[in-house]
Protein backbone atom coordinates (compact mmCIF):
# COMPACT_ATOMS: atom_id res chain seq x y z
CA UNK A 1 0.00 0.00 0.00
CA UNK A 2 1.53 3.31 -1.07
CA UNK A 3 -1.23 5.61 0.23
CA UNK A 4 -1.21 6.84 3.84
CA UNK A 5 -4.13 4.54 4.64
CA UNK A 6 -6.70 2.20 3.13
CA UNK A 7 -9.71 4.18 1.96
CA UNK A 8 -13.18 2.64 2.30
CA UNK A 9 -14.78 1.52 -0.95
CA UNK A 10 -18.11 2.81 0.38
CA UNK A 11 -16.61 6.35 0.42
CA UNK A 12 -15.66 6.24 -3.27
CA UNK A 13 -17.65 8.78 -5.29
CA UNK A 14 -15.83 8.86 -8.66
CA UNK A 15 -13.47 6.68 -10.62
CA UNK A 16 -11.98 7.04 -14.06
CA UNK A 17 -8.98 7.04 -16.35
CA UNK A 18 -7.21 9.30 -18.87
CA UNK A 19 -5.20 8.73 -22.03
CA UNK A 20 -2.31 11.12 -22.71
CA UNK A 21 -1.73 11.92 -26.39
CA UNK A 22 1.07 13.66 -28.22
CA UNK A 23 0.24 14.22 -31.89
CA UNK A 24 -2.47 11.54 -31.66
CA UNK A 25 -0.14 8.90 -30.18
CA UNK A 26 -0.85 7.63 -26.66
CA UNK A 27 2.23 7.99 -24.44
CA UNK A 28 0.74 7.62 -20.94
CA UNK A 29 -2.33 6.50 -19.00
CA UNK A 30 -3.74 7.64 -15.67
CA UNK A 31 -6.20 5.88 -13.37
CA UNK A 32 -7.90 7.65 -10.48
CA UNK A 33 -10.39 7.20 -7.64
CA UNK A 34 -12.02 9.99 -5.62
CA UNK A 35 -13.28 9.45 -2.07
CA UNK A 36 -15.36 11.60 0.27
CA UNK A 37 -14.91 11.14 4.01
CA UNK A 38 -17.89 12.62 5.88
CA UNK A 39 -16.12 12.59 9.24
CA UNK A 40 -13.51 15.13 8.09
CA UNK A 41 -15.51 16.66 5.20
CA UNK A 42 -12.51 15.87 3.01
CA UNK A 43 -12.13 14.76 -0.59
CA UNK A 44 -9.26 12.44 -1.51
CA UNK A 45 -7.95 11.77 -5.02
CA UNK A 46 -5.79 8.67 -5.40
CA UNK A 47 -4.21 8.54 -8.87
CA UNK A 48 -1.49 6.66 -10.69
CA UNK A 49 -0.01 7.08 -14.15
CA UNK A 50 2.29 4.91 -16.27
CA UNK A 51 4.32 6.25 -19.19
CA UNK A 52 6.99 4.69 -21.39
CA UNK A 53 9.92 7.09 -21.75
CA UNK A 54 12.44 7.40 -24.60
CA UNK A 55 14.80 4.86 -22.99
CA UNK A 56 12.03 2.25 -23.00
CA UNK A 57 11.68 2.29 -19.21
CA UNK A 58 8.35 2.72 -17.47
CA UNK A 59 7.81 5.89 -15.43
CA UNK A 60 5.30 5.50 -12.61
CA UNK A 61 3.77 8.52 -10.84
CA UNK A 62 1.48 8.07 -7.84
CA UNK A 63 -0.43 10.95 -6.24
CA UNK A 64 -2.48 11.11 -3.05
CA UNK A 65 -4.31 14.45 -2.86
CA UNK A 66 -6.42 15.45 0.17
CA UNK A 67 -8.50 18.65 0.25
CA UNK A 68 -10.81 20.04 2.92
CA UNK A 69 -14.37 21.28 2.46
CA UNK A 70 -13.01 24.63 1.18
CA UNK A 71 -11.09 22.74 -1.52
CA UNK A 72 -7.73 23.70 0.01
CA UNK A 73 -5.05 20.97 -0.04
CA UNK A 74 -4.14 19.63 3.41
CA UNK A 75 -1.95 16.71 2.30
CA UNK A 76 -0.33 15.93 -1.05
CA UNK A 77 2.07 13.11 -1.84
CA UNK A 78 3.85 12.73 -5.21
CA UNK A 79 5.80 9.50 -5.66
CA UNK A 80 7.87 8.84 -8.81
CA UNK A 81 9.76 5.69 -9.79
CA UNK A 82 11.61 4.52 -12.91
CA UNK A 83 14.02 1.61 -12.89
CA UNK A 84 16.26 2.11 -9.85
CA UNK A 85 15.28 5.78 -9.51
CA UNK A 86 12.79 6.83 -6.83
CA UNK A 87 11.70 10.20 -5.44
CA UNK A 88 8.90 11.28 -3.13
CA UNK A 89 7.62 14.75 -2.30
CA UNK A 90 5.14 15.38 0.53
CA UNK A 91 3.24 18.58 1.36
CA UNK A 92 1.44 18.76 4.74
CA UNK A 93 -0.57 21.78 5.82
CA UNK A 94 0.12 22.75 9.44
CA UNK A 95 -3.01 24.60 10.61
CA UNK A 96 -1.60 26.18 13.76
CA UNK A 97 1.37 27.72 11.95
CA UNK A 98 -0.39 28.40 8.62
CA UNK A 99 2.60 26.72 6.98
CA UNK A 100 3.14 23.88 4.55
CA UNK A 101 5.69 21.30 5.69
CA UNK A 102 7.51 20.08 2.57
CA UNK A 103 9.76 17.03 2.38
CA UNK A 104 11.79 15.41 -0.40
CA UNK A 105 13.31 11.92 -0.33
CA UNK A 106 15.01 9.88 -3.05
CA UNK A 107 16.59 6.49 -3.75
CA UNK A 108 20.05 7.75 -2.76
CA UNK A 109 18.92 8.29 0.83
CA UNK A 110 18.78 12.07 0.51
CA UNK A 111 16.23 13.82 2.76
CA UNK A 112 15.24 17.49 2.74
CA UNK A 113 12.57 19.19 4.85
CA UNK A 114 11.40 22.80 5.11
CA UNK A 115 8.43 24.99 6.02
CA UNK A 116 6.73 27.15 3.40
CA UNK A 117 4.64 30.17 4.38
CA UNK A 118 1.35 30.22 2.54
CA UNK A 119 -1.64 32.43 1.87
CA UNK A 120 -5.05 31.15 3.08
CA UNK A 121 -6.02 29.93 -0.39
CA UNK A 122 -3.64 28.01 -2.61
CA UNK A 123 -3.29 24.94 -4.84
CA UNK A 124 -0.46 22.40 -5.08
CA UNK A 125 0.49 21.32 -8.59
CA UNK A 126 1.14 17.66 -9.41
CA UNK A 127 2.05 15.95 -12.70
CA UNK A 128 -1.37 14.23 -12.90
CA UNK A 129 -4.67 15.41 -14.36
CA UNK A 130 -7.44 14.22 -12.02
CA UNK A 131 -6.65 16.68 -9.16
CA UNK A 132 -5.35 19.46 -11.44
CA UNK A 133 -8.44 21.70 -11.45
CA UNK A 134 -9.62 21.39 -7.85
CA UNK A 135 -8.57 24.99 -7.15
CA UNK A 136 -11.51 26.24 -9.24
CA UNK A 137 -13.80 25.24 -6.37
CA UNK A 138 -11.80 27.19 -3.76
CA UNK A 139 -13.39 30.56 -4.51
CA UNK A 140 -16.23 32.15 -6.43
CA UNK A 141 -15.26 32.76 -10.06
CA UNK A 142 -15.79 35.89 -12.09
CA UNK A 143 -17.37 34.09 -15.05
CA UNK A 144 -16.91 37.04 -17.42
CA UNK A 145 -13.37 38.04 -16.42
CA UNK A 146 -9.93 36.77 -15.47
CA UNK A 147 -9.35 34.93 -12.18
CA UNK A 148 -6.01 34.67 -10.42
CA UNK A 149 -4.87 31.65 -8.38
CA UNK A 150 -1.79 30.86 -6.27
CA UNK A 151 -0.22 27.51 -7.20
CA UNK A 152 2.70 25.91 -5.37
CA UNK A 153 5.02 24.27 -7.91
CA UNK A 154 8.23 22.26 -7.74
CA UNK A 155 10.97 21.54 -10.30
CA UNK A 156 12.43 18.61 -8.33
CA UNK A 157 12.57 15.30 -10.18
CA UNK A 158 15.03 12.60 -9.00
CA UNK A 159 17.24 15.05 -7.08
CA UNK A 160 16.44 18.05 -4.91
CA UNK A 161 17.19 21.18 -6.98
CA UNK A 162 15.27 23.98 -5.28
CA UNK A 163 12.48 24.82 -2.86
CA UNK A 164 8.89 24.82 -4.15
CA UNK A 165 7.67 28.27 -5.16
CA UNK A 166 4.26 29.89 -5.58
CA UNK A 167 3.33 30.87 -9.10
CA UNK A 168 0.36 32.82 -10.30
CA UNK A 169 -1.96 31.41 -12.96
CA UNK A 170 -4.87 33.13 -14.66
CA UNK A 171 -8.09 31.30 -15.47
CA UNK A 172 -10.73 32.58 -17.86
CA UNK A 173 -14.03 30.97 -18.70
CA UNK A 174 -14.27 30.62 -22.48
CA UNK A 175 -18.07 30.50 -22.64
CA UNK A 176 -20.83 31.49 -20.25
CA UNK A 177 -22.77 28.31 -21.01
CA UNK A 178 -21.77 24.66 -21.01
CA UNK A 179 -21.11 22.98 -24.33
CA UNK A 180 -21.81 19.53 -25.70
CA UNK A 181 -18.82 17.28 -26.32
CA UNK A 182 -18.63 13.87 -27.94
CA UNK A 183 -15.92 11.72 -26.37
CA UNK A 184 -15.55 8.31 -27.97
CA UNK A 185 -19.26 8.20 -28.79
CA UNK A 186 -20.42 9.54 -25.43
CA UNK A 187 -22.20 12.91 -25.30
CA UNK A 188 -21.24 14.99 -22.26
CA UNK A 189 -21.73 18.56 -21.03
CA UNK A 190 -18.52 20.48 -20.33
CA UNK A 191 -17.47 23.97 -19.28
CA UNK A 192 -14.50 25.35 -21.19
CA UNK A 193 -11.73 27.29 -19.43
CA UNK A 194 -8.46 28.82 -20.59
CA UNK A 195 -5.39 28.65 -18.33
CA UNK A 196 -2.63 31.25 -18.75
CA UNK A 197 0.70 31.86 -17.07
CA UNK A 198 0.45 34.65 -14.51
CA UNK A 199 2.91 36.72 -16.57
CA UNK A 200 1.03 36.31 -19.86
CA UNK A 201 1.22 39.43 -22.04
CA UNK A 202 -2.44 40.27 -22.70
CA UNK A 203 -1.65 43.85 -23.76
CA UNK A 204 0.57 43.03 -26.74
CA UNK A 205 -0.57 39.52 -27.65
CA UNK A 206 -4.14 38.85 -28.72
CA UNK A 207 -4.10 35.23 -27.52
CA UNK A 208 -1.14 34.35 -25.26
CA UNK A 209 -0.13 30.66 -24.97
CA UNK A 210 -2.63 28.76 -22.87
CA UNK A 211 -4.15 25.39 -22.00
CA UNK A 212 -7.77 24.67 -22.84
CA UNK A 213 -9.64 22.71 -20.21
CA UNK A 214 -13.06 21.14 -20.74
CA UNK A 215 -14.37 20.57 -17.23
CA UNK A 216 -17.01 18.05 -16.19
CA UNK A 217 -19.86 18.97 -13.86
CA UNK A 218 -18.57 16.51 -11.26
CA UNK A 219 -16.00 17.47 -8.62
CA UNK A 220 -13.90 19.73 -10.89
CA UNK A 221 -12.70 16.69 -12.85
CA UNK A 222 -11.57 17.56 -16.40
CA UNK A 223 -12.81 15.70 -19.46
CA UNK A 224 -10.15 17.08 -21.81
CA UNK A 225 -7.01 19.26 -21.62
CA UNK A 226 -5.34 20.60 -24.77
CA UNK A 227 -2.11 22.61 -25.05
CA UNK A 228 -0.56 24.52 -27.95
CA UNK A 229 2.23 21.94 -28.41
CA UNK A 230 -0.10 19.17 -29.61
CA UNK A 231 -0.52 17.48 -26.23
CA UNK A 232 -4.03 16.27 -25.40
CA UNK A 233 -5.25 14.52 -22.25
CA UNK A 234 -8.67 12.95 -22.62
CA UNK A 235 -10.94 10.99 -20.30
CA UNK A 236 -10.97 7.28 -21.18
CA UNK A 237 -13.84 6.42 -18.87
CA UNK A 238 -15.57 8.12 -15.96
CA UNK A 239 -18.00 6.67 -13.41
CA UNK A 240 -20.03 8.80 -11.03
CA UNK A 241 -20.67 6.64 -7.95
CA UNK A 242 -22.02 9.51 -5.86
CA UNK A 243 -25.57 8.62 -4.89
CA UNK A 244 -26.16 12.14 -3.58
CA UNK A 245 -25.79 13.74 -7.02
Q: Is residue 244 part of a domain?
A: no
Alpha carbon distance 21, 185 (integer Å): 18
pLDDT for 162: 97
Alpha carbon distance 177, 145 (integer Å): 14
Q: Is residue 2 part of a domain?
A: no
pLDDT for 136: 94
pLDDT tens-digit profile, the chain (245 residues): 789 999 999 999 999 999 999 988 999 999 999 999 999 999 999 999 999 988 889 999 999 999 999 999 999 999 999 999 999 999 999 988 889 999 999 999 999 999 999 988 999 999 999 999 999 999 998 888 899 999 999 999 999 999 999 999 999 999 888 999 988 888 999 999 999 998 888 888 788 889 999 999 998 999 999 998 889 999 999 999 986 65
Q: How many CB atoms lie within 10 A of CB 202?
A: 12
Q: Is residue 3 part of a domain?
A: no
Q: How many CB atoms lie within 10 A of CB 127?
A: 16
**Domains in the chain: how many in total?**
1
pLDDT for 147: 94
**118 closest CA partner among 132, 99, 105:** 99
Q: Is residue 197 part of a domain?
A: yes
Q: Is residue 4 part of a domain?
A: no
DSSP β-bridge partners for residue 167: 151
Question: Could you give phi then psi for residue 136, rounded to 5 degrees?
Answer: -60, -25
Q: Is residue 136 part of a domain?
A: yes
Q: Is residue 243 part of a domain?
A: no
pLDDT for 96: 85
Alpha carbon distance 217, 245 (integer Å): 10
Q: How many CB atoms lie within 10 A of CB 57?
A: 14
List the domain range (segments joined by +) for residue 168. Answer: 12-238
Alpha carbon distance 243, 245 (integer Å): 6
Q: Is residue 5 part of a domain?
A: no
Amino acid sequence: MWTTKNYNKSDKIFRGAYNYYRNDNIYAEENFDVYFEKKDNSFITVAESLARVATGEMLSIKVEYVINKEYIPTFVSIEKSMGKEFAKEVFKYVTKRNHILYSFDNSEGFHHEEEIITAPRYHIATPLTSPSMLFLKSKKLDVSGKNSFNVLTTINQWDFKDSPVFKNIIVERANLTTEKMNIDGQNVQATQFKLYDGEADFKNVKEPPHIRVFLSQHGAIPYVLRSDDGTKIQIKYFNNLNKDE
